[in-house]
Chain A
């Protein structure tokens, strides 16, 4: 068992935790987006409400969601740990002159981007996830199923301009975070090969633009339409 602890307390092992949890969250983002797009369906929220009920009541989904919460916590916790360790590695005296030419902005600022996303996550969880799980909410009946009307809650939140703005800014932060994070995860796991690098790069960059853009378009459409 000692080898296992050694592995995950090593500099590379810690990065592997970041990469694996990050990739899982990327998968989650995709599922989340497909669910959210149902908000745009012109059916008074039936598809979205039924989906929200399913996501909070299906035992398999529930199990996966606990793994997802845990991975989020690991991703944040390990990021803090690595940041502290990396700061210490630089030493007490920093450089007087630094250049930003040799690396991209998003790669150097994953911590700041992550913090913006975390703030967004807390607000987002409190208003929607928290309401859905623990809050008092109006209900709607479809057939013989009575489900919570999350659609109306989301809809009224997206009538506030500042809420829409918060969403858009956060999605930009996620886009930059993914721009570096997606490819970086593969590099950390050692998955670097000249035959596959262009594919990973293309998928990563497309994902980091398309997914946040689609997420952001939902509140914008609901605000204006």
Chain B
């Protein structure tokens, strides 16, 4: 199949980018979207042009590295990661527009690659549990209801790809942060740092310059892992409760 690709090209963080159109004449419907760009890049390298930079790693939908905004949707029209999106989703002869994630907190480094270390810093601010060293605890020592365990696990399936930020008209990171807050808040192991975690992760999220949630739920519709917006309500609850009742009073809030 033949495809016309309109791709965002940008030399580096400080230069202005622009769209450039490429023709891919030998795309197979069985190719993944990333493989199609691989083919295009090989052609570009052969011609002596600079290849298109894009993020990718596992290519099996679990690492959260691939991050292309395709035809108005993060990860394209299907609710998958870009690596699991196949060319059969598109029509022969179609023009496909490929853009990087757009958010102040995710600056474009080159072409379609954005800097998502803001997510790492939010995670480092509180997305962990402290475990005392000692003998290995028995696996079934702490009873957890199946449904609670499932819900925590559902939240934990967030791969931190940033599609929620890309989809949100406010570039809000609340679906990501709420998934990370929820996966621990639901489980007994997460109780020790529960309040501190909600306070610190939200404060870091604000400091990174992400927007506020206006409950359009575009994030939930676009999330390749199906993270639910019920997590955002839980995070709001956790955060409000924590701010009003925690012992710690100096975690800082607000953006700039």
Say if A and B assemble together: yes
Q: Residues of A with Cβ closer than 8 Å to B?
A: 2-3, 5-7, 9-16, 82, 85-86, 88-91, 93-99, 101-104, 107-108, 110, 180, 183-184, 187-192, 194
Cβ contacts under 8 Å, B103 to chain A? 89-91
Residue pair A188, B206 in contact (C-beta under 8 Å): no
A141 to chain B, nearest CB (A): 51
Q: Residues of B with Cβ closer than 8 Å to A?
A: 6, 17, 19, 69, 71-73, 97, 99, 102-105, 107-108, 167, 169-172, 174, 202-203, 205-206, 209-218, 221-222, 229-230, 232-240, 243-244, 249-255
Residue pair A97, B210 in contact (C-beta under 8 Å): no
Tell whether A95 pairs with B236 under 8 Å between CB atoms, given A90-B104, A102-B167.
no
Query: 19 A-B Cβ contacts within 8 A?
Result: A6-B251, A14-B212, A16-B236, A86-B214, A90-B103, A93-B108, A94-B102, A96-B6, A103-B221, A107-B217, A108-B216, A184-B214, A187-B215, A187-B232, A188-B213, A188-B233, A190-B236, A192-B229, A194-B230
Cβ contacts under 8 Å, A86 to chain B? 169-172, 211-212, 214
Q: Which residue of B lies closest to A14 (CB)?
A: B212
Interface centre among A13, A104, A189 (most CB of B within 10 A): A13
Contact count A vs B, C-beta below 8 Å: 156
Cβ contacts under 8 Å, B229 to chain A? 187, 192
Residue pair A191, B212 in contact (C-beta under 8 Å): no
B166 to chain A, nearest CB (A): 9
A6 to chain B, nearest CB (A): 3
Residue pair B243, A110 in contact (C-beta under 8 Å): no
Interface centre among A9, A101, A183, A192 (most CB of B within 10 A): A192
Of the candidates A7, A89, A104, A191, the one whose C-beta lies within 8 Å of that of B172 is: A89
Residue pair A187, B211 in contact (C-beta under 8 Å): no
Of the candidates A6, A103, A187, A189, the one whose C-beta lies within 8 Å of that of B254 is: A6
Residue pair B209, A88 in contact (C-beta under 8 Å): yes
Residue pair B102, A11 in contact (C-beta under 8 Å): no
Cα-based distance from A98 to B238 in the complex (angstroms): 33
Interface centre among B17, B211, B251 (most CB of A within 10 A): B211
A178 to chain B, nearest CB (A): 13
Of all A-B residue pairs in the complex, the 7 with the closest CB atoms, nearest first, are A190-B237, A6-B253, A89-B211, A192-B233, A99-B72, A9-B254, A102-B221
